[in-house]
Structure 1
Amino acid sequence: MPREIITLQVGQCGNQIGCRFWDMALREHASCNSDMVFDHALSSFFHNVDRRYTPPRELSVGGGNTPIQFLKARAVLIDMEESVINQLLKGSLSELFDSKQYITGASGGSGNNWAQAHEVHGPHFADAILEKIRGEAELCDSLQTFVMMHSIGGGTGSGVGSYILELLHDAYPEVYRFTQSIFPSADDDVVTSPYNSLLSTIALIEHADCVLPVENQALLDIIRFFKSFRNSS
């Protein structure tokens, strides 16, 4: 039986990472799935739909040999500022998503402020977020995990991300909550980053089952090392 995973992309960083994730996932499956069948591995992250019907008809994975008709991501995209999601919806991956899968807020975003995002935007968009998630969950046969992609240094990723973890903890207590959390570097120019990170970390400890941390400082150190290595050689 397939075990589905719903991906939640929260904030500017979360949606930028999500864009690269879906691109790499499609490329990897294409290289390993020359028969173009909708197998169990694909069904964990994608729907297979027949767009000849309105609304599109969901196609079951069955025995793992159903032909691919049209893939849709099992995802919800959330940002309190519109530009990154709008860019994603106009890009090469736009057909993976539709209007039922994303939420955008005011153009000003969360102002790099955890409290603004958690105490204002979170409650304001709570019902809409849960409705989008519920719509994706109802299309799953055996939902196993939520994976949230976000940064903990900015506003929306930290504050709304924390709020979403709390919502999931209450609404889907039996479903695992994983996060791919980007921790800020020492060179981060957001003055509120330490404050946002501290409060986000508390929420991760309390409400996430597994945190997969990515440290921006470590990535920067790797890039600088390879740059210096190339220059020296």
Structure 2
Amino acid sequence: MSIVTVQLGQCGNQIGHEVFNAICSDVHGTHGLCSKKENESYHDACKERFFSEEKSGVPVARAVLVDMEPKVISQALSIAARSGYWKYDDRSHFCQKQGSGNNWANGYSVHGPKHKDIIMNLVQKEAEKCDRLSGFFTIMSMAGGTGSGLGAFVTQCLKDAFPASFILNHVIWPYGTGEVIVQNYNSVLTLSHLYHSSDALLVHENDVIHKICAQLMNIKQISFRDVNQVIAHQLGSVFQPIYTAEGALHYSRSPLGDLMETLVPHPEFKMLGLRNIPQMPESSLAYSSFSWPGLIKHLRQMLIANATMEEGIDWQVRPPRPGSSIPSKHSTSKLLHFNTSIANLVILRGKDMHSADLGLFCFCCRKFPRSSTIYIMANPPGCF
């Protein structure tokens, strides 16, 4: 089944472009991890999910680009077309010459109603190209005005126009030090509206991704593109085809439906987080070796200690024994953080993944659920 991506605002369009770049690189890469038949099946499932074919043979991204300023959209269209591997549909974008000025209300109450018909017509045309529609994946920032305000409005329109389709919002949490002076208001208003219209919200925090770039990727001068590429790699790890329990050549056909079924058992708990290991520069992969037991051990401790990345995990935090009580705030024991999720999904990608023992993850979730977490593991060089 296919996913229609809606890229909203400057941040959403830049990340969306990197996501399609990463996916296309994975499709054209030679992994050597499976047979030719399995590889072809994987590629076909991926193309059906994210691209539509054109007569020229160049895959066209199933995406609608929306921004109130033309610069970023023009760059995305041009760079994608020059790559020769994929491109955007030249008719599936909408932009104006006046932005939202980091004003949430301007995006939601002015640009949204004013341009609703044009934007929804573009989405409708893209949805009609899909033989089987799984749902919509929107990418947006919460700090500015267009991504947050217009993004919340468009999500509400998608829910009204496609009530039977899933909607997953990917939102970028702003830097704690501040990107714009009104980012706190924009973020609160965005979350408030998305919680009523979205089926799930996948959150990436700029501070966490920045730390990954600095400490794990060893990038000295970190740019927004570096941050976006890390986010795109993690998103590709989630959305690229995966085997179902039926076994080889049986790929999941409803990616958004599978995520909702696994990670959103109750409609009030729809905040999703993501962890990916190992995370390191490609230049270091040739000098590193990994084993499934080691990766799973680290991943489990990340879950228990609520760690955002592999480095600096607090190994002193331990899960409770069956029947034991959670320590009070006056206890000298480490507080247990792993009970902050009500559902978890582990996705393994790599060689000999069927030999991995996931028994360590078989423990019961405790009280006080707050969110769900996606855990992504083991990405060999050149593929998810």
TM-score range, shorter-chain basis?
0.7 to 0.9
Aligned residues: 210
**Correspondence 1:43-82 to 2 at 5 A:** 43-51=48-56, 69-82=57-70
| Residue number among 90, 107, 110 corresponding to 1:99 in the alignment | 90
Choose between structure 1 and 2 for higher RCO, CA contacts under 8 A separated by at least 6 residues: 1
Whole-angstrom CA distance in 1 between matches of 2:61 and 2:198: 22
Q: Deviations over 1:142-170 (max 9, x none)?
A: 10110001101111000000001110110
Deviation at 1:110, TM superposition (A): 0.4
Which one-letter code corresponds to 1:98 in the other structure? D
Q: Deviations over 1:107-142 (max 9, x none)?
A: x31000000000000011100011000101111111
Whole-angstrom CA distance in 1 between matches of 2:64 and 2:218: 40
Whole-angstrom CA distance in 2 between matches of 1:147 and 1:159: 17
**Matched-pair contact (CA < 8 Å) for 1:11–1:78:** yes
| Residue number among 5, 15, 20 corresponding to 1:17 in the alignment | 15
My pick for the range that moved more, 75-84 or 216-225, is 216-225
Check if 1:40 corresponds to 2:57.
no
Which one-letter code corresponds to 1:204 in the other structure? L
Higher strand share: 1
Distance change (3 Å), C-alpha of 1:228 and 1:176 = closer
Distance change (3 Å), C-alpha of 1:70 and 1:156 = same
**Matched-pair contact (CA < 8 Å) for 1:23–1:93:** no
The residue number in structure 2 matching 1:66 is: none
Whole-angstrom CA distance in 2 between matches of 1:16 and 1:224: 20
Deviation at 1:189, TM superposition (A): 3.0
Distance change (3 Å), C-alpha of 1:226 and 1:39 = closer
Whole-angstrom CA distance in 2 between matches of 1:181 and 1:189: 15
Deviation at 1:90, TM superposition (A): 1.9
Whole-angstrom CA distance in 1 between matches of 2:75 and 2:190: 27
| Residue number among 136, 149, 161 corresponding to 2:139 in the alignment | 149
Deviation at 1:228, TM superposition (A): 9.0
**Matched-pair contact (CA < 8 Å) for 2:94–2:119:** yes
Distance change (3 Å), C-alpha of 1:173 and 1:186 = same
Uncovered stretches (5+) of structure 2, i.e. residues with no partner: 221-384
- Greater C-alpha radius of gyration: 2
Q: TM-score, normalised by structure 1?
A: 0.83
Q: Deviations over 1:63-117 (max 9, x none)?
A: xxxxxx22111000000111101111221446612332000012x3100000000
CA RMSD of aligned residues (A): 2.3
Whole-angstrom CA distance in 2 between matches of 1:115 and 1:200: 10
| Residue number among 169, 174, 184 corresponding to 2:159 in the alignment | 169
**Correspondence 1:208-219 to 2 at 5 A:** 208-219=198-209
The residue number in structure 2 matching 1:207 is: 197
Question: Alignment identity in percent?
Answer: 34
Which one-letter code corresponds to 1:18 in the other structure? G
Whole-angstrom CA distance in 1 between matches of 2:80 and 2:53: 18
Whole-angstrom CA distance in 1 between matches of 2:175 and 2:100: 20
Deviation at 1:220, TM superposition (A): 2.6
Distance change (3 Å), C-alpha of 1:192 and 1:92 = same
The residue number in structure 1 matching 2:330 is: none
Q: TM-score, normalised by structure 2?
A: 0.52
The residue number in structure 1 matching 2:6 is: 8
Deviation at 1:222, TM superposition (A): 3.2
Higher helix share: 1
